[in-house]
């Protein structure tokens, strides 16, 4: 198998997968009686218009950080939804910002470490510990 073929094969599979996702989505939209072309057009074009209220750059930043957290962990934490941990981070960051209003931004919002990470991390630590215990119990010899 040549390297060229491997690249071609992977590209073809990924393109086919993209087309399959679009087709499946179109089928579901058609099934609920929606205008498929209009819906796809609205999703892909409208958010980028300058006069639009909300733009795609808005949710992309927190999504990047959360998804990086999902990756950094391994498959283990991929199954862990982080809505609760995000909430704990928001509470910790807001509490610190309100309690110490003179704190410079560079100190409060530095990526690591600041009060919100231990707070949210500790919240993630609890289910992690429980899951690890459960896994080690199920894997231990009987």
Partner 1 sequence: MLNYIAAQFYTFCLRGPMLDPAEITMGSGTPQSMRLTRAVWLDRLVPGTRIHTGVYIALFLAFVVWLLLWRTSWGYRMRAAGAGERAARYGGIGVAGCLVAAMMISGAFAGLAGAVEVAGVHRRAIEGITGGYGFSGIVVALFGGLHPAGIVPASFFFGLLIVGADMTQRMAGVPANMVLVLQGVIILVIVATRMVLANPYLADRVWRRYRALFRRNMEE
**How many Å apart are CA 27 and CA 21, to the nearest integer?**
10
User: Closest CB to partner 1 among 136 and 142?
Assistant: 136
Residues in the chain: 142
141 binds partner 1 (CB under 8 A): no
Task: State in angstroms the smallest separation of the CB of 142 from partner 1.
Answer: 16
Task: State in angstroms the smallest separation of the CB of 67 from partner 1.
Answer: 4
7 binds partner 1 (CB under 8 A): no
User: What are the distances in angstroms from CA 60 to CA 22, 52, 54, 65, 81?
Assistant: 21, 16, 12, 9, 17
Sites for partner 1 among residues 47-66 (CB under 8 A): 47-48, 50, 52, 54-66
């Amino acid at each position: 198998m040549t390297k060229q073929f491997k690249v071609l094969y992977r590209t073809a599979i990924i393109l086919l997968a993209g087309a399959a996702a679009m087709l499946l989505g179109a089928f579901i939209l058609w099934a609920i009686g929606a205008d498929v072309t209009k819906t796809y057009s609205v999703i892909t074009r409208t958010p980028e218009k300058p006069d639009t209220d909300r733009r795609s750059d808005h949710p992309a930043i927190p999504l990047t950080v959360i998804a990086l957290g999902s990756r950094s962990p391994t498959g283990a934490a991929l199954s862990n939804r982080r809505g609760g941990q995000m909430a704990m981070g928001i509470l910790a960051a807001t509490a610190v910002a309100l309690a110490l209003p003179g704190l410079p931004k560079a100190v409060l919002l530095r990526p690591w470490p600041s009060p919100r990470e231990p707070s949210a991390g500790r919240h993630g630590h609890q289910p992690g510990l429980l899951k690890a215990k459960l896994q080690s119990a199920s894997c231990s010899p009987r």
